[in-house]
Amino acid sequence: MAEATSANTLPSMRKKVQSYSDIGVALLMVLIIIMMVVPLPTWLIDILLSMNITLGVVTLLVTFYVKRALDLSIFPTLLLISTLFRLSLNVSTTRLILLYGNAGELINAFGNFVVGGNYVVGIIMFLILVIIQMLVITKGAERVAEVAARFTLDAMPGKQMSIDADLNSGLIDEQGAKQRRQDIQREADFYGAMDGASKFVKGDAIAGLIITTINIIGGLSIGIFMRGMDAAGAAAHYSLLTVGDGLVGQIPALLMSTAMGVIVTRAAASSELGPDLINSFTKYPRPLYIASGMLMSMGLIPGLPTVPFVSLSILMGALGYAVGREANLQEIAAEEQAASTPSAGQPQAGAQPSTSGAPSSAGAQAEPQKAEPVSPEDVMKLLTVEPMEAEIGYAIIPLIDPAQGGDMLDRIGTIRKQMALEMGIVVPPIRIRDNIQIKPTEYILRVKGAEAGRGELLPDHYLAMNTGAAEEDLIGVPTKEPAFGLPALWISTDLRDKAEAMGYTVVDAPSVLATHLSEVIKKNGAELLTRQEVQKLTDMVKETAPAVIDELLASLSLGEIQKVLQNLIREQIPIRDLVTIFEALADYGKMSRSVDFLTERAREALSRLISLKIQGPDGIITAATLSPNWEQKIMAGVDGDLTRGWQLNLDPRDVQKMIAAISKAMDEMIVKNLPPVLLVHPDVRLIVRKLIEGSINNIFVVSYNEIVRGVQVKTVGMVE
């Protein structure tokens, strides 16, 4: 009963102390100020100096038991208070030393007993402590705190994204997300405060060195000129007191700086410091054996002490043997446990008997269950490659799933209609599946199994892009717009109106995915046009223009028609006007079955559509032209022609020069907000296009025959 009463009393006392803790801290700060201006008796100085040492020891020991820095988040403030307390003690002891030549029993003990009454030894010890504190512990801890603060701030966007992903996927609730966000903010604040608090310890060491120097000089002056002491006596008396005062102050300072180093370096701790040390040094026996051999070798070297090295060698060898034996025992125990665990075909003792025809008993070995044979049809299904598919992380599922309010499926339907209207492409159904192997907020777009695009989305956020109109900066997660690679920011919903008012282009996460999907379809539309799709297209045209299809198929195969249509799609030429395309192929298919030749003739038949695509709002086509010198050099380097087949024999250096010149001209047009159009001779259009393909994107290479009659053409320069 008494024990229960005592156990209940301790928490209640702790609560009472905590309730008055603010008063205690206020009294401590008042005491610090009083110590600087009011002389204190020596007995009180002894108590306060002992409290200072005790504070340093307890703080250092507490850091051994924390598992993460936030468990001791008060440490930067504690460091400031302890530093101020220690400096006020220096002021009080300096006053007593210079006024009365006596600063209490503790300082006298450090001045006489610790350094043996030799003030020279005391000064050297004091300087060594200051050097250790300033150049080793404090400087290292300061650097660790600085780097930790920087890395913590850099990692904040990623951690915030992880929290949002876990929240959207239902792994945590709103309260848990709020707590984790607060922990991230506190961690960043803690390391930032530690980076600044390390300057307190460094300044304390410098102040202690200066105060000690002043005390020695002041003590000598007072002893010699005011008290009539000889120089040797004054130096011995006042120097011992000053050194004792310095040691009493520097030892707690050294403890606090060591505690600061411990707290900032225990970033990846899994338990207290003691168990971590033991586990780290006794995890592998081989390093202990190697150390034992090295120590034994050093003990046998003539001139070196034998007993210490041999003793340590035996100790390391015995420790290595014990560690290795313990590891073997654990491995044997794990194997025995694995062997005793019943497998899928072995029933546990007490299990129900088998329902098969063979009798069985508890503990008897049952026949292993035979796996059902896989049918060839099931294997064939595995060989199927989807024309288009999207793999999404689990955090993006709410954007797709209609049950969770996602409208992405409707958007995909709209995209398919848009591709049919703009490009004449029938986009096959897009399979969407989740993939736990990618990041929760990531998605991958695939065309025929190959990755065609990848991006990252933050649900419940908006993507803000500065198109040049915004001058102010926004707070958000830096990223790149996945479709065009533009720099952008993921911003929270409450910043949307502000971003739009500042001139940013703001879109939601589903729109980002839809835009990226549209661009992938445009870039890979030719790969989606299969021969089966071409068959469907010819059947559709045959219903309204059967004569065209009959004449077309009499001279060309489906494969040749498919390749021509793919070439048109690759250059972003719509193929909706299939009747015009098929009529041109039927006319020129009798002359040649060269796909390149037929593609150029189909483009000329679509001249009205091409002219409309590249002309500006004023109806004028603005283009750069290729110089006659380049055109003649290209024609001279072509063996054969488009009708029978051709091969280009140009110097690679000339090709690189031409590509660089065209790229420069197109960049100048883009800067002037003009569509990048290059106008060339019909005989070299296809060759120029193939040369720059892969080096220059989003450029329209057109020939004079592809400009419809009556459209005005304005040239802005010539590619020399």
pLDDT digit string (tens) for 13-29?
A: 666 666 667 777 788 78
User: Taking 50 as the threshold, does the pLDDT of residue 345 lie above it?
Assistant: no
**CA–CA gap between residue 155 and residue 150 (Å, rounded):** 9
> 376-408 pLDDT, tens per residue?
555 666 667 888 889 998 888 888 888 888 888
| CA 197 remoteness from chain centre | 28
Q: What does pLDDT average to over the chain?
A: 78
C-alpha count within 13 angstroms, C-beta hemisphere, residue 461: 26
**CA–CA gap between residue 486 and residue 467 (Å, rounded):** 9
User: Taking 50 as the threshold, does the pLDDT of residue 364 lie above it?
Assistant: no
**CA–CA gap between residue 114 and residue 244 (Å, rounded):** 8
**CA–CA gap between residue 593 and residue 561 (Å, rounded):** 10
What is the pLDDT, as a whole number, of residue 563?
92
> 403-429 pLDDT, tens per residue?
888 888 888 888 888 888 888 888 888
- Residue position matching structure tokens 């793919």: 566
Going by pLDDT thresholds of 50, 70 and 90, the confidence category of residue 443 is very high
> 625-652 pLDDT, tens per residue?
888 888 888 887 777 666 666 777 777 8
User: Taking 50 as the threshold, does the pLDDT of residue 465 lie above it?
Assistant: yes
Dihedral-angle region of residue 690 (phi above 0 means left; psi in -120 to 50 means alpha; beta otherwise): alpha
Q: What is the DSSP letter of 366?
A: P
C-alpha count within 13 angstroms, C-beta hemisphere, residue 548: 17
What is the pLDDT, as a whole number, of residue 366?
38
What is the pLDDT, as a whole number, of residue 352?
41
Q: How many CB atoms lie within 10 A of CB 410?
A: 11
- Prediction pTM value: 0.49
More confident residue, 127 or 451: 451
User: Taking 60 as the threshold, does the pLDDT of residue 340 lie above it?
Assistant: no
What is the pLDDT, as a whole number, of residue 629?
86
**CA–CA gap between residue 236 and residue 220 (Å, rounded):** 9
Using DSSP's 3-state secondary structure scheme, residue 92 falls into helix
- Beta strands 621-626; 713-719: pairing state: parallel
**CA–CA gap between residue 676 and residue 697 (Å, rounded):** 10
User: Taking 90 as the threshold, does the pLDDT of residue 119 lie above it?
Assistant: no
Out of 105-114, 187-196, 382-391, 677-686, the most confident range is 677-686
| Paired tokens of 493 | 């919903």
| Paired tokens of 266 | 């225990």
pLDDT over 70 for what percent of the chain?
Answer: 79
Among 261-265, 571-575, 627-631, 702-706, the least confident range = 261-265
DSSP 270-338: SS-HHHHHHHHHTS-HHHHHHHHHHHHHHHTSTTS-HHHHHHHHHHHHHHHHHHHHHHHHHHHHHHHHH
Contact assessment for residue 293 and residue 173, using Cβ atoms and an 8 Å cutoff: no
Contact assessment for residue 439 and residue 393, using Cβ atoms and an 8 Å cutoff: yes
> 534-544 pLDDT, tens per residue?
898 989 989 99
* Torsion, Cα of 144, 146, 151, 152 (10° steps): 100
Residues pairing with 613 in the sheet: none
Among 365-369, 468-472, 499-503, 668-672, the least confident range = 365-369
What is the pLDDT, as a whole number, of residue 362?
38
- Residue position matching structure tokens 């150029």: 600
CB within 8 Å of 664: residues ≥ 6 apart:
none
- Residue position matching structure tokens 């991958």: 444
Going by pLDDT thresholds of 50, 70 and 90, the confidence category of residue 336 is low
Contact assessment for residue 355 and residue 347, using Cβ atoms and an 8 Å cutoff: no
Closest CA to 133 of 196, 76, 200: 200
| Paired tokens of 419 | 């591709």
Going by pLDDT thresholds of 50, 70 and 90, the confidence category of residue 444 is very high
- How is the beta sheet containing 388-392 ordered, strand by strand? 430-434, 388-392, 442-447, 450-456
